[in-house]
Structure 1
Amino acid sequence: MTWTAPKVAHTLLDAENRRQDLEPFTDEWAELDLEVAYQIQDETLARRVMRGEQIVGVKLGLTSRAKQQRMGVDSPLTAWLTDAMVLGSGVPVPLNSLIHPRVEPEIVFQLGKPLAGPGVTAMSALAAVEAVYAGIEVIDSRYKDFRFRLADVVADNASSGRIVAGSVALPPQRLDLALEACVLHINGEVAHTATGAAVQGHPAEALALAANTLAVRGITLEAGWCVYTGGLTDAVPLTAGDQIVAEFGHLGSVTVTGE
């Protein structure tokens, strides 16, 4: 098959809707690069908006050094978040609408001002932040066994699934985000621990990187948007009956259950 950006965008959204996983496109389309992958990502966003979804923010992926090394890259990637991905507090994760969900805890920024690169630093990025939240992202790759190359996952909107934010909102000035601790519990047992430093050394560095990276494509982070800064720990599978809790030092806790 000869692949094109619109055809890949259609195939990915169809796979998501049908809960049917795929082989990576780069198996057949070896020339698929990041520039085209982001075009595919933007095309899928346009199609989401056409069917009624609204942009609520962006997310970063591959923000930890370990994940970057596994993928053979030296910089995170960005992807889109829409209101259809948002789960309210206490709402179970609808496993019947996902393929093979995994959960990772994140630090979340809500912007009070627009943020546009280039030249954004961690300090200037934090100046645009209105509040910081604890968060959980439920990722769900459209590729079989989470097997993909970098261009594949970018095209797939960085394995977007669902997002959940906690109820505690704090101004960034009240937090040492690099030292903000997180303990991930699975069914009452400690599975992982981390601090905010796991994300680019400081979550504000991830926010600045998002602003500067998106500026290359002419995109500004808008006031009111949320930014999920990337997994603090490895992602863990979510199955029916599971309860996964991300407990933070100052930002409270976030819980997801599989149903």
Structure 2
Amino acid sequence: MPTAAPWPQQRVGRPPMLDAATLDEMADIVARAQAAPHTMPKLTDKHPGMTIEDGYAVQDRLLAKWEAEGRSLIGLKAGLTSKAKMEQMGVSEPSFGILMRDTLDPEGSVIPTDRLIHPRVEAEIAFVMKDELSGENVTIDEILDATDYIQPAIEILDSRFEKFKFDLESVIADNGSSARFVMGGRARRPRDVDLRTIGMVMEIDGEIVACASSGAVLGHPARSIQMLVAWLHGRGRTLPAGSIVLTGGATEAIAIKPGNAVFARFQDMGEISVRIG
């Protein structure tokens, strides 16, 4: 199991606009909505001046809270990295979030929905890093060299916002709707496949519900990692060796319900399945 080093906590770049007490309050609201699942209004409803940096400041507080509870960071995720997802969510740029070790489920497992509100699934490519990456302008070749292997993944998303309606600032504070994720199929070395053209087919209960190519993610899923590393660099951080990185769904997220059997088939990388409980 990969083990990611903790992030350093310093931050550089633009500071949050909201004061620390307000950000603490927001983090408490989000943490409660996730721990004892219930819906909440968009955070910008009460704080219309909230910025993207404020959303990430809430994420920082969530990570500190979760680590204080004994949970550990295992990686990061990119979201809204395909045209389909941007159009579905009504946003124009990707976002980033954190992955906690206890949200990784075994392939073939049953994902309970009793703690989920608006569950949806998407298929994506996961990268597992063997080397640390840092800097503002890492290249695709540097990313591939730093990658141990790539692997099929299914991410289970769950927005806590009322009626699944949110804006970018709010969804970042909600950790990019992160809930659970599963990795499986056939792990491959990143240079052994054409990462721009991996076909993906998602089925629910034997019915094809989405088809896509890995190139739908910014033309090449490693570009998600380029953007992620640059984002981390702007905050005085690096992408640690051992990190799992979910590069983002190539298709829109598909709603699921109890009893569904979800299969995601990846060209030359096998298939991954979960059952929704």
Task: Please report the TM-score for the alignment, with normalisation by the length of structure 1.
Answer: 0.96
CA contact (8 A) 2:136 2:233 kept: yes
Q: What's 1:7 paired with?
A: 25
Q: What's 1:170 paired with?
A: 188
235, 239, 259: which one pairs with 1:221? 239
Q: What's 1:55 paired with?
A: 73
Report the AA paired with residue 176 of structure 1.
Answer: D
Say if 1:71 and 1:102 are closer, same or farther in 2 by CA, change over 3 A.
Answer: closer
Q: 1-side partners of 2:83 and 2:140: how far apart?
A: 18
**How far 1:73 moved relative to its partner?**
4.5
CA contact (8 A) 2:88 2:252 kept: no
**How far 1:74 moved relative to its partner?**
4.0
Q: What are the superposed Cα offsets for residues 18-70 of structure 1, whole Å, 9 maximum, x if unpaired?
A: 11111101111100101111000111011111111111000001101233355
Q: What's 1:82 paired with?
A: 100
Say if 1:191 and 1:66 are closer, same or farther in 2 by CA, change over 3 A.
Answer: closer
- Please state whether the residue corresponding to 2:111 is helix, strand or coil: coil
Report the AA paired with residue 190 of structure 2.
Answer: P
Q: What's 2:51 paired with?
A: 33
CA contact (8 A) 1:123 1:204 kept: no
- Please state whether the residue corresponding to 2:133 is helix, strand or coil: coil
Q: What's 1:129 paired with?
A: 147
Instruction: After the TM superposition, list the runs of 4 or more consecutive aligned residues in structure 1 that deviate by more than 3 angstroms.
Output: 69-74
Report the AA paired with residue 244 of structure 1.
Answer: V
Q: 1-side partners of 2:255 and 2:22: how far apart?
A: 32
Q: What's 2:261 paired with?
A: 243
Report the AA paired with residue 75 of structure 1.
Answer: E
Matched pairs, number:
258
Q: Which runs of 5 or more structure 2 residues have no equivalent in the other structure?
A: 1-18
**How far 1:233 moved relative to its partner?**
1.1
Q: 1-side partners of 2:41 and 2:93: how far apart?
A: 24
Q: In the alignment, is residue 111 of structure 1 matched against residue 129 of structure 2? A: yes
Q: 1-side partners of 2:79 and 2:185: how far apart?
A: 23
Q: In the alignment, is residue 252 of structure 1 matched against residue 270 of structure 2? A: yes
Q: 2-side partners of 1:241 and 1:181: how far apart?
A: 26
Q: What are the superposed Cα offsets for residues 69-100 of structure 1, whole Å, 9 maximum, x if unpaired?
A: 55565431110001121111222111112222
237, 244, 251: which one pairs with 1:233? 251
Q: What RMSD over aligned residues (CA atoms) do the two structures have, in Å?
A: 1.4
Report the AA paired with residue 170 of structure 1.
Answer: R
Task: Please report the TM-score for the alignment, with normalisation by the length of structure 2.
Answer: 0.90
Q: 1-side partners of 2:182 and 2:196: how far apart?
A: 21
75, 81, 95: which one pairs with 2:113? 95
Q: Which runs of 5 or more structure 1 residues have no equivalent in the other structure?
A: none
Percent identical across equivalent pairs?
A: 36
143, 164, 174: which one pairs with 1:156? 174
CA contact (8 A) 1:41 1:156 kept: yes
Q: 1-side partners of 2:250 and 2:91: how far apart?
A: 18
Q: What's 2:211 paired with?
A: 193
